[in-house]
């Protein structure tokens, strides 16, 4: 069985899990940013890797990606992707200043992005692991701020044995009483041996 063979029922299940994870993430983000944050029902996308640009439809070509490893009953990696503009907005809120250029982002800025990525990863991962009955634990993320197509294609080439489909959870976090929102993409990149474990767990649903 492959990722692209998942049925609607299974996808709905994952969507529900992602929804719970998104809710947890929104609560944690509200506390961290000291702003009311709401999350919309996430969308699940499964698409061939060469369609990445089209499906993710980021505003610019530059994005921030936080890569974490996950361990436990399955192993692999998570990639949280944020558009460049959204990332600057986020750092701006956290550090309470306006950021217009990447060069203005210092260690503190990178560290705050890591923290947010950590919240997103852990929230989604814990919801998904509860849903699948698998124990999954994330590591501390590393941050790559670059052309997003390079980031994503390299992540898949480096860490999968030729996996050609991307599994992505897209969520929108909205800051209440403002026009600002954050669009986040969580890409799940399981190791090839673990993928069958995950799919098996999904198949039992």
Partner 1 sequence: MRKANEITVETGNIKVSNDSAALITGALGSCVAITLYDRKQKLGGMVHYILPLNPGGKKKAKYADTGIMLLLEKMMECNAKKKDIEAKMVGGAIMFEEFMDDIESSIGKRNIKKGKEVLKDLGIKLVSQDTGGNYGRLVRFQLSDGKVYINSYKAGAKII
Residues that bind partner 1 (CB under 8 A): 50, 53, 61-62, 67, 69, 77, 102, 142, 144-147, 149-151, 153-155, 157-158
Query: What is the rounded CA–CA span in Å between residue 145 and residue 99?
Result: 15
Neighbour count for residue 164 (Cβ, 10 Å): 13
Whether the CB-CB separation of 69 and 190 falls below 8 Å is answered with no
Instruction: Work out how close the CB of 66 gets to partner 1 at its nearest, in angstroms, rounded to a whole number.
Output: 11
Instruction: Work out how close the CB of 150 gets to partner 1 at its nearest, in angstroms, rounded to a whole number.
Output: 3
Instruction: Work out how close the CB of 11 gets to partner 1 at its nearest, in angstroms, rounded to a whole number.
Output: 27
Residue 12 or 106 having the CB closest to partner 1? 106
Q: How far is CA 42 from CA 22, 93, 104, 137, 161, in A?
A: 7, 23, 32, 22, 28
Residue 20 or 62 having the CB closest to partner 1? 62
Token pair 């990696």 is found at 77
Non-local (6+) Cβ contacts of 58 within 8 A are 81, 83, 84, 148
∠ CA(111), CA(115), CA(41), 5° rounding?
140
Instruction: Work out how close the CB of 144 gets to partner 1 at its nearest, in angstroms, rounded to a whole number.
Output: 6
Residue 125 or 151 having the CB closest to partner 1? 151
Residue 72 or 133 having the CB closest to partner 1? 72
List 70's β-bridge partners, or say none.
76, 138
Instruction: Work out how close the CB of 122 gets to partner 1 at its nearest, in angstroms, rounded to a whole number.
Output: 18
Candidates 15, 25, 156, 16; CA nearest to 78 is: 156
Instruction: Work out how close the CB of 197 gets to partner 1 at its nearest, in angstroms, rounded to a whole number.
Output: 21
């Amino acid at each position: 069985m492959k990722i692209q063979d998942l049925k609607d029922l299974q996808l709905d299940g994952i969507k529900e899990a992602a929804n719970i994870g998104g809710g947890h993430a929104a609560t944690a983000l509200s506390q961290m940013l000291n702003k009311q944050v709401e999350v919309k029902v996430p969308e699940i996308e499964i698409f061939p890797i060469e369609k990445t640009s089209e499906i993710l439809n980021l505003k610019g070509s530059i994005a921030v990606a936080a890569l974490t490893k996950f361990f436990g009953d399955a192993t692999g990696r998570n990639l949280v992707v944020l558009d460049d503009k959204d990332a600057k907005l986020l750092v701006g809120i956290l550090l309470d200043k306006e950021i217009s250029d990447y060069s203005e982002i210092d260690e503190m800025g990178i560290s705050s992005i890591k923290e947010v990525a950590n919240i997103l990863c852990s929230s989604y991962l814990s919801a998904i692991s509860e849903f699948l009955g698998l124990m999954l634990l994330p590591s501390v993320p590393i941050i790559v701020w670059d052309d997003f197509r390079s980031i994503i294609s390299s992540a898949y080439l480096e860490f999968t044995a030729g996996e050609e489909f991307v599994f992505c959870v897209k969520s929108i976090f909205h800051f209440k009483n403002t026009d600002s929102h954050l669009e986040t993409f969580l890409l799940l990149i399981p190791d090839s041996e673990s993928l069958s474990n995950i799919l098996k767990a999904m198949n039992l649903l």
